[in-house]
Chain A
Amino acid sequence: MYGKKVKLRAFFIILVFISALLITFLVINSLKENVVYFKSPTEIKNLTQIDKKKIRIGGMVKKDSIEVNSKNLKFIVTDFKNEIIVSYDGAVPNLFEEEKGVVAEGYLQDRKFLKADKILAKHDENYMPPEVKEAISDN
């Protein structure tokens, strides 16, 4: 069997590891709000107050909601419970599409309206060749 010293070292190191684990857990837990990259429309709706700070919202681009007026782009971000109208001037990424994930960064005007200065397209975890996609859509 192992000597007393080895057992003592094992106990000490496991103690160090568990303390570090706990500290990390507590830190992350208290930072929860800041760890998320974006908020959903429902979370925005439940905000107690709207700050002037820059904010990111994310969700799906609602079907048939994209409106283009010369340089201005308007669309609705939905999480299928609540919606936010986003207004944006500029170019959007290639993957920006209806019924696909999107993240908009900008300033909230009110709980229903965001003036964005950056649009990011969110990619989902589905990877397939175009033929397979067509076959799925046909069904």
Chain B
Amino acid sequence: MLNYFNPGNTIKIISKLQKFIFALFIAVLILGLAEALVLSPEDYKQSDSVRIMYVHVPAAWISLGIFTVISILSFGILIFKNKNFSLITKSLAPSGFVFNIIALVTGSIWGKPTWGTWWAWDARITSMLLLAIFYLMFMMSWKIVDQENKAIKLSSYIAIFGLINVPIIKFSVDWWSTLHQPSSVNVLKETTIHTSMLVPLGIMTAAFALFSLLIFLMKYNTELLKIKNKGLDRL
């Protein structure tokens, strides 16, 4: 177990894993795009603009998921001073942030033809913008604080405060009247999206998850290499 955390070994394993995940990502992405753009039917009401949803929804899910993982690990960082966790959260943040921006932008593009506006200050959209700001603060804390220990502390506090926003985003459409529609894919309630549209949504989510994993592994490997180059052989 201790050996596993030796950066030298981990770097080798990750390098091999990266190639495999990249190949898998390309395969799943091609399948997902074919389903989403060509094979899936148009919607009865929005016709072809429904296809924006196959990018918008997975991007939003992934950005929320990544932030939740960062926040939970941040508790571990603050309580147990786990150095490895802080490398993981630092490496996770950029892809989460990019997907957050993608969700906001695609939502805006969808909103114009559907709602008739690019932007609305409703609870869902505003809380999603707040998530992007939390991501930005998290990543900036590494840049503006010179001492590493302090940067880790600051970023972790930002992450646990941001965690409060996550359920607000999820339930904003149920708690308040919003322009944004309630969720269509539900575990406890009935799912209100037809199977022929649910399949491409699922595949695109898998593709985005693989992409995040790939970017994460690249970033994480870089962090490990930095440690190795400093001449430390263990974390």
Q: Is the CB–CB distance between A37 and B194 below 8 Å?
A: no
In the complex, B140 has a CB within 8 A of chain A: no
Number of chain A residues close to chain B: CB under 8 A: 40
Q: From B92-100, B115-123, B205-213, B219-227, give the one contacting chain A.
A: B115-123
Known contacts A24-B164, A93-B113, A129-B196: A123-B181 contact under CB 8 Å: yes
Interface-central residue, A35, A94, A118, A127, by most chain B CB under 10 Å: A127
- Nearest-CB distance from A42 to chain B (Å)? 12
Q: Is the CB–CB distance between A127 and B177 below 8 Å?
A: no
Contact of B79 among A10, A38, A39 (CB under 8 A): A10
Interface residue ranges of B22-65 to A (CB < 8 Å): 41-46, 50, 53
Contact of A119 among B80, B116, B168, B178 (CB under 8 A): B116
In the complex, B149 has a CB within 8 A of chain A: no
Known contacts A9-B78, A103-B179, A125-B192: A133-B44 contact under CB 8 Å: yes
- Cα distance A28–B197 when bound, in Å? 35
Interface-central residue, A39, A40, A126, by most chain B CB under 10 Å: A126
- Nearest-CB distance from A25 to chain B (Å)? 9
Output the nearest chain B residue to A126 by Cβ-Cβ distance: B192
Known contacts A35-B123, A125-B184: A6-B80 contact under CB 8 Å: yes
Q: Is the CB–CB distance between B194 and A95 below 8 Å?
A: no
- Determine chain B's interface SS by DSSP, over half rule: loop
Q: Is the CB–CB distance between A6 and B181 below 8 Å?
A: no
Determine the chain A residues whose CB is within 8 A of the CB of B123 once the complex forms.
35-37
- Cα distance A128–B50 when bound, in Å? 10
- Cα distance A133–B182 when bound, in Å? 19
- Nearest-CB distance from A18 to chain B (Å)? 10
- Nearest-CB distance from B218 to chain A (Å)? 30
- Nearest-CB distance from B54 to chain A (Å)? 11
Determine the chain B residues whose CB is within 8 A of the CB of A93 once the complex forms.
113-116
Determine the chain A residues whose CB is within 8 A of the CB of B164 once the complex forms.
20-21, 24
Interface residues of B (CB under 8 A from A): 41-46, 50, 53, 75, 78-80, 113-117, 120-123, 157, 160-161, 163-164, 168, 176-179, 181-184, 192-194, 196-197
Q: List 21 A-B contacts (CB under 8 A).
A: A9-B79, A13-B160, A17-B75, A24-B168, A36-B178, A37-B121, A38-B179, A58-B177, A92-B116, A94-B113, A118-B116, A121-B116, A123-B45, A125-B184, A125-B193, A126-B193, A128-B194, A129-B42, A129-B194, A130-B43, A132-B44
